[in-house]
């Protein structure tokens, strides 16, 4: 079983807090900061956080979908769709 909603939220909040602390520390230690520097740092932080959010949400979705796949009663293996089957008309059947 995957992580609970609360566990994911706690991990993401902790990561966001670390990123913000890192940004503020960088800003405090940097003598001269331009708007371009700020933009680059903030956009980099946003990209990392967005990637982490996407990863977590995608993983949750995969886990939900995998949980919905029925298993075979005889073998215990996950069932899968075989697609649509086409039948050939029998000669002389009129179809």
**Could you identify the residue written with the tokens 């059947």?**
93
What residues have CB less than 8 Å from 55, skipping those under 6 apart? none
Residue 24, SS3? helix
Q: Could you tell me the residue ranges of all domains in the chain? A: 5-64
CB count in 10 Å sphere of residue 93: 6
Please name the residues in contact with 53: beta carbons below 8 A apart, sequence gap of 6 or more. Answer: 12
Query: Which residues, in sequence order, are CB contacts of 33 under 8 Å at separation 6+?
Result: 27
Instruction: Give the pLDDT confidence score for residue 56 in this predicted structure.
Output: 92
pLDDT tens for the 95 residues of the chain, in order: 678 889 999 999 999 999 999 999 999 999 999 999 999 999 999 999 999 999 999 988 888 877 777 777 888 787 777 777 777 777 776 65
25 phi and psi angles, rounded to 5 deg: -65, -45
Q: Which two tokens stand for residue 87?
A: 């039948």
Task: With 0.85 as the threshold, say if the pTM is over it.
Answer: no
């Amino acid at each position: 079983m995957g992580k609970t909603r609360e566990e994911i939220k706690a991990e993401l909040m902790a990561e966001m807090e670390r990123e913000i602390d890192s940004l503020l520390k960088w800003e405090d230690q940097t003598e001269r900061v331009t708007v371009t520097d700020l933009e680059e740092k903030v956009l980099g932080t946003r990209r990392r956080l967005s990637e982490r959010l996407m990863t977590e949400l995608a993983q949750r979705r995969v886990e939900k979908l995998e949980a919905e796949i029925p298993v075979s009663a005889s073998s215990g293996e996950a069932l899968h769709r075989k697609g649509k089957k086409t039948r050939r008309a029998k000669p002389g059947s009129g179809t």
